[in-house]
């Protein structure tokens, strides 16, 4: 028996969230006495050693340019085929956009109980259950999976990645051509190439309507750059077109859980908190001492962002220099 | 153009979250329910816009739920749609819910099946994908735009690290993300009409439940916020390094 993990490449490397998913699968495998198989589609010449180091016992490398990876129907067939070949009862994804499209399809195809966005390791003795966030992060629910087959997607940044194992040689894995019929045609792909991916980022600097206008984002970007952080924003900011829509976090935007979330000029509405209150450490900078966000923060500074942020940039630069 | 829109409910975001029966169920006392925003603001409104544009077609709302869903469907009726179906069962498992909707859709041949991106209370993002698999249809996930002509649909979707434009022929399932339409406010005529629209209640088919919530727990809030003097911004960096250990 094995646990199958779906993994991906981005920008010439195995994605960090994929390594998290492999770690997670390896943990379940060791608790249940099974093994971990990672599958990766069209890795090209990217080095796959990290998959083994993260805990995969076997790596299936699929090279086939006819696979429309944008079509969840094709992807569900491909992964179901691999799960059957590997006798996998459990399939693990990272809870990203791909998983949101593919994992439920695969679960339906396998007739597997599905838990999206798991935040802890499952209990495996007796009943199999795993927790996820519910009610905008105000609570967690423990889900029991009754079926023998299971699909779980792991919330990104839930566990620190560990790559202390040893690499394994990858096995090339063929997919029958009749599984690859696709009814979805990709016309265009637009990727924000140079930015850190927000869901994967460990540090995030975010700003809200308190910044007054898009022309003032330079200092936010500078602070993010000094820290090596990604940038995010509140919903009105993306609604107003001050920042791109994919930066919007909250109940109706992305839910993120970085190690550090710095909120500048954001009031801390409940719908905003819903997307960020899983962050490990929250810093709030707001000129209003009554801003609700301070109630959900670990560190707070009351004051004018236009004075404080430049000081922070200097302090970060000094700190970085002292580290070298 | 026959369109099916899947409707679920969600507690108003200001609702107080509490549990009962030894933390095994959600305490609905004093909780106001709304139509799940993604279903109403984006899926339903875009469905209405498409039928308006094409000057043909019909919209059916579907929900899997108990009698309390009738009021939610009527709220959605006030925005638009022609008729509604409630499948009478408690929606405790995504696979079970998807089987119900898929069974109805199989008998009624829709061109487009809309879901919301996710319910805002459980954030499953699961029902749309499952329905599409059960119906063997393409699935356009997380769409922020949808345009159709007589033979094809073009959609823009969020993908990891960017967006993608895809083309697809009918029928298909699509999950609606923010951006697909502008939320509409029901007008008096809509509210009046909502009362008389047909809402059919049908029994559930036999289907398995593959998951279930065994317990809930309230998340721990943060303790107290440590305040740092605005003059001493550099002190924050020190705390983040030495105390929080995040940089
Ligand atoms: C159903 C629903 C879903 C929603 N989903 C989301 C969501 O996903 N994400 C989201 O963010 N919002 C969401 N919202 C909106 C949310 O309720 C708030 O309106 C929004 O988060 C407020 O954004 P903001 O904090 O940037 O702006 P504001 O509330 O206007 O706050 C601006 C803050 O900046 C401070 N400020 C002003 N000037 C300065 C200065 N010079 N220096 C420092 N601080 C300053 C002010 O004191 C204030 O606290 C949703 C709302 C609804 C109803
Ligand atoms: N009980 C239900 N009845 C009908 N549609 C539902 C139900 N639950 C969820 N949906 C639809 O599926 C979408 C995604 O829900 P979920 O997978 O629960 O996050 C929602 O936005 C609805 O469109």
Residue range B175-189, pLDDT digits in tens: 999 899 999 999 999
Q: In what order do the strands lie in the sheet containing B112-116?
A: A184-191, B162-169, B152-159, B139-148, B172-176, B112-116, B2-6, B58-65, B83-88, B198-203
Q: How many residues does chain A have?
A: 324
Q: What is the DSSP string of A269-305?
A: -HHHHHHHTT-SEEEEEES-TT-GGGGG-SEEEES-H
CA–CA distance, A98 with B190 (Å, rounded to integer) = 38
Look at residue A140 and give its three-state secondary structure. strand
% of chain A with per-residue pLDDT over 90: 87
Report residue A323's pLDDT band, with 50, 70 and 90 as the boundaries.
confident
pLDDT above 90 for A8: yes
Do residues B101 and B130 lie in contact, with contact meaning Cβ atoms separated by under 8 Å? no
Quick one: which of B234, B220, B223, B228 has its CA closest to A289?
Answer: B228
Assign domain B2-215 one CATH number from 3.30.9.10, 3.50.50.60, 3.40.50.620, 2.10.70.10: 3.40.50.620
Average pLDDT taken over every residue of chain A: 95
Report residue B223's pLDDT band, with 50, 70 and 90 as the boundaries.
confident
Across the interface, of A76, A139, A202, the residue whose CB is closest to B216 is A139
pLDDT at B15: 86
> What are the pLDDT digits (tens) for B22-69?
999 999 998 999 999 999 999 999 999 999 999 999 999 999 999 999
CA–CA distance, A236 with B8 (Å, rounded to integer) = 25
Across the interface, of B139, B179, B209, the residue whose CB is closest to A105 is B139
pLDDT above 80 for A192: no
pLDDT at A251: 86
Report residue A195's pLDDT band, with 50, 70 and 90 as the boundaries.
low
CA–CA distance, A142 with A128 (Å, rounded to integer) = 10
Q: pTM, whole model, 2 decimals?
A: 0.90
> What are the pLDDT digits (tens) for A197-240?
888 899 999 999 999 999 999 999 999 999 999 999 999 999 99
Average pLDDT over residues A80-97: 97
pLDDT at A194: 59
CA–CA distance, A246 with A195 (Å, rounded to integer) = 11
Contacts of residue A187 in chain B, CB cutoff 8 Å?
154, 165-167
pLDDT above 90 for A313: yes
Report residue A71's pLDDT band, with 50, 70 and 90 as the boundaries.
very high
Tell how far the Cα of A236 is from the centroid of ligand 1, in angstroms: 7
Where are chain B's structural domains? 2-215
pLDDT above 80 for B6: yes
B3 CB near ligand 2 (under 6 Å): no
Q: Residue B219 and residue A308: Cβ atoms within 8 Å?
A: no
Q: Which ligand is nearest to the CA of A291?
A: 1
Quick one: which of A312, A259, A264 has its CA closest to A284?
Answer: A264
Tell how far the Cα of B119 is from the centroid of ligand 2, in angstroms: 6
Q: Within an 8 Å CB–CB cutoff, is residue A136 touching chain B?
A: yes
Residue B18: Cβ within 10 Å count: 16
Secondary structure, 3-state, chain B: CEEEEECCEEECCCCCCCEECCCCEECCCCCCEEECHHHHHHHHHHHHHHHHHHCCCEEEEEEEECCCHHHHHHHHHHHCCCEEEEEECCCCCHHHHHHHHHHHHHHHCCCEEEEECCCCCCCCCCHHHHHHHHHCCCEEEEEEEEEECCCEEEEEEEECCEEEEEEEECCEEEEECCCCCCCCCCCHHHHHHHHHCEEEEEECCCCCCCEEEEEEEECCCCCCCEECCHHHHHHHHHHHHHCCCCC
pLDDT above 70 for B92: yes
pLDDT at A276: 94
pLDDT above 90 for B148: yes
CA–CA distance, B143 with B165 (Å, rounded to integer) = 9
Look at residue A172 and give its three-state secondary structure. strand
Report residue A193's pLDDT band, with 50, 70 and 90 as the boundaries.
low
% of chain B with per-residue pLDDT over 90: 89
pLDDT at B220: 80
Look at residue A38 and give its three-state secondary structure. strand
Look at residue A83 and give its three-state secondary structure. helix
pLDDT above 80 for A273: yes
Tell how far the Cα of B41 is from the centroid of ligand 2, in angstroms: 14
Q: Within an 8 Å CB–CB cutoff, is residue A308 touching chain B?
A: yes
% of chain B with per-residue pLDDT over 70: 100
Query: In the structure, which protein residues have their CB atom closer than 6 angstroms to any atom of ligand 1?
Result: A 208-210, 234-237, 250-253, 265-267, 269, 271-272, 275, 285-288, 291, 304-306; B 13, 37
Tell how far the Cα of A9 is from the centroid of ligand 2, in angstroms: 31
pLDDT at A197: 80
Which H or E run contains A80? helix A72-85
Q: Half-sphere exposure of residue A259, counting CA atoms within 13 Å on the CB side?
A: 14
pLDDT above 70 for A249: yes
Pick B223 or B229 by higher pLDDT.
B229
Report residue A63's pLDDT band, with 50, 70 and 90 as the boundaries.
very high
Average pLDDT over residues A280-295: 96
Report residue B219's pLDDT band, with 50, 70 and 90 as the boundaries.
confident
% of chain A with per-residue pLDDT over 70: 99
Report residue A11's pLDDT band, with 50, 70 and 90 as the boundaries.
confident
């Amino acid at each position: 028996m094995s646990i199958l993990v779906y993994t991906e490449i981005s920008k010439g490397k195995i994605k960090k969230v994929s390594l998290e998913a492999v770690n997670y699968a390896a943990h379940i495998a060791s608790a249940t006495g099974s093994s971990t198989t990672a599958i990766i589609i069209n890795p090209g010449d990217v080095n796959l050693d990290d998959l083994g180091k993260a805990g995969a016992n076997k790596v299936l490398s699929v090279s086939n340019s006819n696979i429309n990876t944008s079509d969840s129907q094709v992807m569900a067939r491909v992964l179901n085929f691999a799960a059957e070949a590997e006798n996998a009862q459990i399939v693990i994804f990272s809870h990203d956009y791909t998983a949101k499209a593919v994992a439920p399809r695969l679960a339906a195809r396998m007739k597997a109980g599905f838990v999206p966005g798991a935040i802890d390791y499952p209990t495996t003795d007796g009943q199999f259950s795993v927790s996820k966030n519910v009610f905008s992060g105000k609570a967690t629910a423990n889900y029991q999976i009754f079926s023998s087959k299971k699909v779980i997607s792991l919330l990104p940044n839930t566990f620190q990645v560990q790559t202390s194992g040893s690499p394994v040689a990858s096995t090339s894995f063929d997919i029958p051509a009749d599984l690859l019929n696709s009814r979805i045609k990709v016309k265009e792909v637009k990727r924000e190439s140079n930015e850190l991916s927000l869901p994967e980022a460990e540090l995030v600097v975010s700003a809200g309507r308190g910044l007054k206008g898009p022309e003032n984002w330079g200092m936010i970007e500078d602070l993010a750059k000094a820290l090596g952080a990604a940038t995010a924003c509140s919903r009105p900011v993306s609604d107003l077109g001050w920042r791109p829509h994919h930066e919007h976090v909250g109940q109706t935007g992305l839910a993120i859980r970085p190690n550090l979330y710095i909120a500048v000029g954001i009031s801390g509405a409940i719908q905003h908190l819903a997307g960020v209150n899983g962050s490990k450490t929250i810093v709030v900078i707001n000129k209003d001492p009554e801003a609700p966000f301070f109630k959900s923060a670990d560190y707070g500074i009351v004051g004018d962002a236009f004075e404080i942020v430049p000081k922070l940039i200097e302090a970060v630069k000094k700190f970085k220099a002292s580290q070298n | 153009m026959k369109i099916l829109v899947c409707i679920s409910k969600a507690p108003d975001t200001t609702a107080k979250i509490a549990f009962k029966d030894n933390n095994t169920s959600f305490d609905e006392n004093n909780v106001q329910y709304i139509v799940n925003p993604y279903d109403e603001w984006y899926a339903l409104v875009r469905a209405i816009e498409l039928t308006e544009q094409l000057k043909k077609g019909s919209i059916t709302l579907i929900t899997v739920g108990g009698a309390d869903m009738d009021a939610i469907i009527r709220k959605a009726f006030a925005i638009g749609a022609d008729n509604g179906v409630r499948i009478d069962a408690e929606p405790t498992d995504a696979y079970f819910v998807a089987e119900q909707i898929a069974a109805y859709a199989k008998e009624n041949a829709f061109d487009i099946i809309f879901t919301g991106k996710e319910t805002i209370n459980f954030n499953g993002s699961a029902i749309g994908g499952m329905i599409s698999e059960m119906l063997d249809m393409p699935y356009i996930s997380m769409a922020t735009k949808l345009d159709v002509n007589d033979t094809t649909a073009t959609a823009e979707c969020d993908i990891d690290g960017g967006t993608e434009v895809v083309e697809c022929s009918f029928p298909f399932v699509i999950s609606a993300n923010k951006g697909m339409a502008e939320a509409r406010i029901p007008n008096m005529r809509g509210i009046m009409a909502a009362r008389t629209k047909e809402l059919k209640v049908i029994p559930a088919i036999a289907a398995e439940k593959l998951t279930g919530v065994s317990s809930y727990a309230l998340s721990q809030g943060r303790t107290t916020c440590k305040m740092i003097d605005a003059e001493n911004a550099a002190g924050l960096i020190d705390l983040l390094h030495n105390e929080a250990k995040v940089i």
